[in-house]
């Protein structure tokens, strides 16, 4: 039987390795997996539609869907999830000792609507009562054009040739929410510090209270392909779940450690004591507190034109009932 040829672009993560190497193959699909960086993937998919399926910024996708953009349909696969308390950096001369001190300060973000920035603004508002309108935002170039930014928020672009990291080091901005750790953070006598030095403790407590494990990226399929071949969504979903489960078996091996971390197995066990057995969940129901928080934050921050319902974001044939069925059969 001839398989459907399909090109998918996604990051080269431990949880996608089996798909890249061919140890897991989606049913009925001859998969051309392009392991690219997220920024390049988003740009090429959003602006050129180059792939049949790809990793995608969850905030960008949700915002576009709220605007009536129906080019893509998402699968409840979340290749990237990161707590964001630890990615807020400050210049020590700015007098920011606690989140509330950010009021009136200048904060840099790579792109105002990027998912990491949405999560940072959400946690500042809901955990520390610091609203986006109380800061001045300095942004770099957007990945996706055509997204309206809230008029009540002060947003200014950086100058040509400037970088947010250098601006933070020089004190030209007071704080930075960055997906990349500033190089100056660990330099001797550096002015760059984390807002939350004990970020792991703060993030663990945050999860225990809220059950939010921030999702950065999802997986999208071109809608025209989904409507023509709806089975592709399920085949890809199952293969991503299988690759993730194989990875955990690979990591949880005391015979020879899979990565160069001396307490790798203990780290997995410590995480399971917080998250339960399903640390990195691929499902709507298992991630509902996180998904509900994101659509709420996008609505509150004036980025989505309407508050999206969770189920309308994802392929309808990968329903919570279907996922429960798969887990009952041991396939997910």
What would the DSSP string read from start to end of 108-167? EES-TTSHHHHHHHHHHHHHH---GGGSEEEE---SSS-PPPPTTSEEEEPPTT--HHHH
CB 87 within 8 A of CB 179: yes
pLDDT, mean of residues 3-26: 97
Tokens 């190497």 -> residue? 21
pLDDT of residue 329: 82
The CA distance from 317 to 180, in Å, is 36
Its domain, for residue 111, covers 85-210
Question: pLDDT tier at 324 (50, 70, 90 boundaries)?
Answer: confident
Same domain, 231 and 321: yes
Residue that is last in its domain, among 161, 190, 210: 210
Instruction: Give the mean pLDDT of the chain.
Output: 95
Does the pLDDT of residue 291 top 90, yes or no? yes
Residue that is last in its domain, among 187, 210, 233: 210
The CA distance from 332 to 330, in Å, is 6
CB 19 within 8 A of CB 45: no
Does the pLDDT of residue 73 top 90, yes or no? yes
Does the pLDDT of residue 128 top 90, yes or no? yes
Tokens of 157: 């672009």
pLDDT tens readout for residues 135-178: 999 998 777 767 788 889 999 999 888 899 999 999 999 999 99
Does the pLDDT of residue 331 top 80, yes or no? no
pLDDT of residue 320: 86
Residue that is last in its domain, among 159, 186, 210: 210
Nearest 10 degrees: Cα torsion 201, 204, 206, 211: 180
Same domain, 94 and 185: yes
Whichever domain contains 197, its CATH number is 3.40.190.10
The number of distinct structural domains making up the chain is: 2
The CA distance from 270 to 276, in Å, is 10
pLDDT tens readout for residues 246-266: 999 999 999 999 999 999 999
Question: pLDDT tier at 1 (50, 70, 90 boundaries)?
Answer: confident
Same domain, 99 and 203: yes
pLDDT of residue 312: 96
Helix, strand, coil percentages (3-state) for the chain, rounded to 5, are 45, 20, 40
The CA distance from 28 to 105, in Å, is 54
pLDDT, mean of residues 237-252: 96
Question: pLDDT tier at 209 (50, 70, 90 boundaries)?
Answer: very high
């Amino acid at each position: 039987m001839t398989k459907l040829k399909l090109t998918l672009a996604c990051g080269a993560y431990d949880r996608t390795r089996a798909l890249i190497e061919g140890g897991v193959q989606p049913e009925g699909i001859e998969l051309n997996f392009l392991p690219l960086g997220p920024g390049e993937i988003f740009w090429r998919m959003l602006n050129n539609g180059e792939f049949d399926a790809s990793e995608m910024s969850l905030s960008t996708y949700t915002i576009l869907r709220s605007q009536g953009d129906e080019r893509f349909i998402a699968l409840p696969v979340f290749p990237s999830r990161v707590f964001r308390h630890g990615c807020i950096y400050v210049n020590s001369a700015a007098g920011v000792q606690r989140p509330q001190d950010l009021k009136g300060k200048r904060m840099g973000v790579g792109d105002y609507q990027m998912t990491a920035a949405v999560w940072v603004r959400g946690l500042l508002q809901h955990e520390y009562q610091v609203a986006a309108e109380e800061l001045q935002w300095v942004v770099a170039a957007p990945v996706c054009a055509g997204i309206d930014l809230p008029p009540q928020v002060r947003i200014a672009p950086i100058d040509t040739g400037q970088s947010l990291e250098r601006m933070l080091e020089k004190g030209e901005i007071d704080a930075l929410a960055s997906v990349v750790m500033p190089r100056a953070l660990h330099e001797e006598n550096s002015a760059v510090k984390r807002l939350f030095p004990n970020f792991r403790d703060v993030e663990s407590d945050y999860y225990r209270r809220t059950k939010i494990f921030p999702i950065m990226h999802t997986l999208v399929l071109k809608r025209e392909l989904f409507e023509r071949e709806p089975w592709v969504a399920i085949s890809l979903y199952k293969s991503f779940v299988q690759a993730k489960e194989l990875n955990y078996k690979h990591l949880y091996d005391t015979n020879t450690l899979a990565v160069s971390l001396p307490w790798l197995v203990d780290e997995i066990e410590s995480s399971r004591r917080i998250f339960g057995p399903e640390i990195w969940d691929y499902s709507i129901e298992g991630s509902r507190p996180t998904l509900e928080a994101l659509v709420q934050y996008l609505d509150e921050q004036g980025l989505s034109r309407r508050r999206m319902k969770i189920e309308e974001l994802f392929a309808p044939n990968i329903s919570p009932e279907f996922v429960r069925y798969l887990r009952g059969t041991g396939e997910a």
